[in-house]
Structure 1
Amino acid sequence: MAATTPASGPALRIVEGAEAARASVLRRDPLGDPALPPPVRASIRETFDEDLGAFEVVARIIARVREDGDAAVRAFSQRFDGSADAPLEVSREEIEAAFAETPEELLDSLRFAADRVRHYHERQLAHGPRSFLENGVGMTVQPIARAGIYMTGSVAVLPSSVLHTALPGLVAGVPERIGVTAAREDGSVHPLKLVAAELAGVQRIFRASGAQAIAALALGTETIPRVDKIFGPGNVFVTLAKQQLFGEVGIDAIYGPTETLVLADEQAAPDLCAADLLAQAEHDTLARPVLITTSRAHAEAVRAEVERQLADLERGAIARAAVEGGGAVVADGLDEAVALANEFAPEHLCLLTSEPERIAPQITAAGGVFVGDHSPEVLGDYVAGPSHVMPTGGSARYASPLSVLDFLKVSSVIALPEGALAELGPHAARLARAEGLTGHARSIERRLEGL
């Protein structure tokens, strides 16, 4: 296990008061062209023969995929993944071998998780929009034709993300579901990913990762079908590719680093608060763990507990860096704590207060709300049921977690009865002429003349 002894004091900083919190722990800086670590910059230099920022790298990859198709996808994926050459499409035999290779207990847990996620989204679909036609107007609700699933995870293998991204599309009734994923050094795909994809109804899987995979799904290649919409989180290159290709293809959302806000009072157990913060902190050095509490003494107790738990956490170095980028806020009572939490609009909001059920209705901006000690966020990561793919970066102010609704589209229907033209037409023609659109008006008036 990694030792994480601090070089200069505790990782969790503490600030007091709303204004100090807004200026530090809760501040969100606009995203620019992200700084890349030295190994990534070196790889870019070797690939393109010059130093490029992430945005320009993605633009060049997209251009190459647009021009060269499969050849560009294979070359970039194998280059950046360090993987051996292998057929682009994963074979049926590889998927069957993955099931044989996976321990039975783990298979049981994956099936259990898949069942929970599927059943939740079936209930969600039952409460979703329905097609209707009343008095000559209505709408049709139908699934998109073809969905692309980005099966995230290379260093860390994340079969749960495959389940939580693909299953809502299966439930929504999307006819074609296409997966893309990084390959390992020997060219194979990790068996847990293949098992999860099979359980989640992904019908075809391709060895393609990063911006080149997003470009292949958006544009289509000789082998990889063009999709209508792309789903799933990924690294910075995936995120930038989704941004640059939006319009040529639909996207679910732009996802940033994960974040958790624990809203607690002095009654909350410090060890559970610390555990919930570290559960997300271990994902990524850019993860954002935040505590808002009503007591300085409680904040200090959580800080001490964070240090204790970091000491033997396997991904402790990653978690410590993330904690240093987050922090604890001491609020002037629960009302201020709730107001600050809603302002921050976190991906995950954990309510660890003495009466969490009373606080929950006051939360207006969060991707997921986890109510009480018995509903930890990690259950949501795996087996609770709602998709763990949630809005980040404050976008919970206006955005929602991934759901069956993201895989549906609506068409308005106007099928008016014959007699409606005489009633509606004169108003439409009058409005058209007021806007100077005589062609619009004449379209109506010609019909009215024929009545």
Structure 2
Amino acid sequence: MLYKHLKDVTDDEKKKIFSRGGELANVEDKVSVILDEIHNHGDEALKKYTKQFDNAEIENIEVSRQEIDEAFYNVDEAFIKHLETAAYNIRKYHESQLPAQKWMSETLPGIELGQKVTPLKNIGAYVPGGSASYPSTALMTVIPAKVAGVENVSVCTPPRYDGTVHPITLASARIAGADHIYRLGGVQAIGALAYGTSSVKKVDKIVGPGNVFVTTAKMQVRNRVEIDFPAGPSEVLIIADESADAKMAASDIVAQLEHDPNAVSILITTSKSLAEKVNQEVLYQAKSTPRNDIVKKSLKNVVILIADTVDSCIEFSDEFAPEHLEIMVYDDEYVLNRIENAGSIFVGNYSPVAAGDYASGTNHVLPTSGYAKIYSGLNVNHFIKYSSIQKISKEGLENIKDTIISISEEEGLYAHSDSVKTRFDE
């Protein structure tokens, strides 16, 4: 853990903070070899690498509708209701993001300009899995795509050792509206979605979180498909003053740490008293949490900083551009209005990251590693495209005729100029 005043942080310490727990291993060559084999050998390569990496022999790559339905009805009914509650909230939030399907506006007499929205046809959603189940990720990746109007959403998720997919993952994908589910994980899943095989439908875009292998594979297939954004270890930054609850803040720090040993948790506060209490509370909670083996490893990535002013906290946060930003201050509107770089923002002591992770309705697939400076979290706009429209009468074209001719001829594109002139030839 790093605990000190912001002004005393050395350049080396700052560099370490902004490296997000250290550089990830370079796996580009390994990933490239696997992708090439999948591209050339399709299903045969998918089965080979599933055996190698997931220790599972699979016969049918796609999960049958019968298997999905059986899983749904075998999951505890009370848990299904919780999934449906979360799905409802996620769907409602993303429906509010939908743009107008088409609009037109007259900008000059005889010139109508507008825009048409069209959903992508085929989307691939990566849902981590294997022995564990991450139903929330199935909901977060599939539901926005379906809200946007995507015709086909294919889910890839790693199988368990016996070749089956965790029933809770299947149930959540069914609730979300997935059209196809494939028992594939890791690089082989990304390759299958990007290239298509006999069993797997090729997609136009791949979304969803994953480890360094999955992220590297997504980056390498961008000449074939689009992706949402690069993703790294999970992270939270908390801006707080003396109004914050130390126990609550510490619990959110520990919650991020349990993701993996590279997870990053930062508190920057104007209150020395709060910093001391949070520091003690983090160490206490880290001992008692069920995943304390992982938390202990990631404690090295905890940073507690004391700043002189709230403005200094805001400046540091925007430079870091966190995946998750929590604001625990008296004047939270002041901070919220000034923040520019954050994947998802949680305001107040009773707005933990876990709310957005599971049930409030916002999306938890978010840019990490500073990418919040240039990327938005997963939303409806990731699944649609915009086409501009112009509807121009002769009168309208005459209004801009001279401008078109002048600029096109200056660029030496005389056929462009003639295409306008010919419309006014007697």
TM-score, reference length from structure 2: 0.93
SS in 2 for 1:292: strand
1:106 paired with 2:82, answer: no
The 3 A distance-change label for structure 1 pair 392 and 22 is farther
The 3 A distance-change label for structure 1 pair 448 and 326 is farther
Q: Partner residue of 1:133?
A: 104
How many Å separate the matches in 2 of 1:302 and 1:18? 20
Q: Partner residue of 2:24?
A: 34
The amino acid of 1:34's aligned partner reads L
SS in 2 for 1:350: strand
How many Å separate the matches in 1 of 2:6 and 2:153? 48
- Residues 310-321 of structure 1 mapped to structure 2, 5 A cutoff: 310-321=286-297
Output one character per residue of 1:145-191: Cα deviation in whole Å (capped at 9) or x when no partner: 11111112335421101101111011111111111110000000001
Q: Which of these residues, 188, 193, 201, is aligned with residue 164 of structure 2?
A: 188
The amino acid of 2:305's aligned partner reads V
Output one character per residue of 1:289-313: Cα deviation in whole Å (capped at 9) or x when no partner: 1111113332222111111111121
Q: What count of residue pairs does the alignment treat as equivalent?
A: 420
Query: Which residues of structure 1 form unaligned runs of 5+?
Result: 1-11, 36-52
SS in 2 for 1:233: coil
The 3 A distance-change label for structure 1 pair 64 and 33 is farther
Q: Which of these residues, 242, 255, 262, is aligned with residue 286 of structure 1?
A: 262
Q: Partner residue of 1:4?
A: none
Q: In 2, are the aligned partners of 1:25 and 1:326 still within 8 Å (CA)?
A: no
The amino acid of 2:103's aligned partner reads F
Q: Partner residue of 2:422?
A: 446
Output one character per residue of 1:343-395: Cα deviation in whole Å (capped at 9) or x when no partner: 21111111122343443222221111111112111111100101111111112
The 3 A distance-change label for structure 1 pair 237 and 129 is farther
How many Å separate the matches in 2 of 1:301 and 1:354? 18
Q: In 2, are the aligned partners of 1:89 and 1:204 still within 8 Å (CA)?
A: yes
Q: Partner residue of 1:97?
A: 70
- Residues 229-308 of structure 1 mapped to structure 2, 5 A cutoff: 229-308=205-284
**How far is 1:439 from its partner?**
3.1
How many Å separate the matches in 2 of 1:75 and 1:124? 41
SS in 2 for 1:351: strand
How many Å separate the matches in 1 of 2:249 and 2:19? 26
The 3 A distance-change label for structure 1 pair 122 and 21 is farther
The 3 A distance-change label for structure 1 pair 418 and 32 is farther
1:427 paired with 2:403, answer: yes
The 3 A distance-change label for structure 1 pair 402 and 269 is same
Q: In 2, are the aligned partners of 1:33 and 1:54 still within 8 Å (CA)?
A: no
**How far is 1:129 from its partner?**
4.6
Q: In 2, are the aligned partners of 1:21 and 1:329 still within 8 Å (CA)?
A: no
The 3 A distance-change label for structure 1 pair 129 and 392 is farther
How many Å separate the matches in 1 of 2:223 and 2:422? 37
Aligned-residue CA RMSD (Å) = 2.0
The 3 A distance-change label for structure 1 pair 182 and 139 is same
**How far is 1:121 from its partner?**
1.0
Q: Percent identity?
A: 37
The amino acid of 2:35's aligned partner reads I
Greater CA deviation, 267-276 or 438-447?
Answer: 438-447
1:408 paired with 2:407, answer: no
The 3 A distance-change label for structure 1 pair 212 and 163 is same
The amino acid of 1:291's aligned partner reads L
1:397 paired with 2:373, answer: yes
How many Å separate the matches in 2 of 1:25 and 1:283? 23
Q: Partner residue of 1:202?
A: 178
Q: In 1, are the aligned partners of 2:131 and 2:160 still within 8 Å (CA)?
A: no
**How far is 1:316 from its partner?**
1.0
Output one character per residue of 1:203-238: Cα deviation in whole Å (capped at 9) or x when no partner: 111111111211111111112111111111111111
How many Å separate the matches in 1 of 2:21 and 2:295? 22
How many Å separate the matches in 2 of 1:424 and 1:360? 44
SS in 1 for 2:266: strand
**How far is 1:73 from its partner?**
1.6
**How far is 1:21 from its partner?**
6.9
Q: In 1, are the aligned partners of 2:404 and 2:417 still within 8 Å (CA)?
A: yes
Q: In 2, are the aligned partners of 1:159 and 1:193 still within 8 Å (CA)?
A: yes
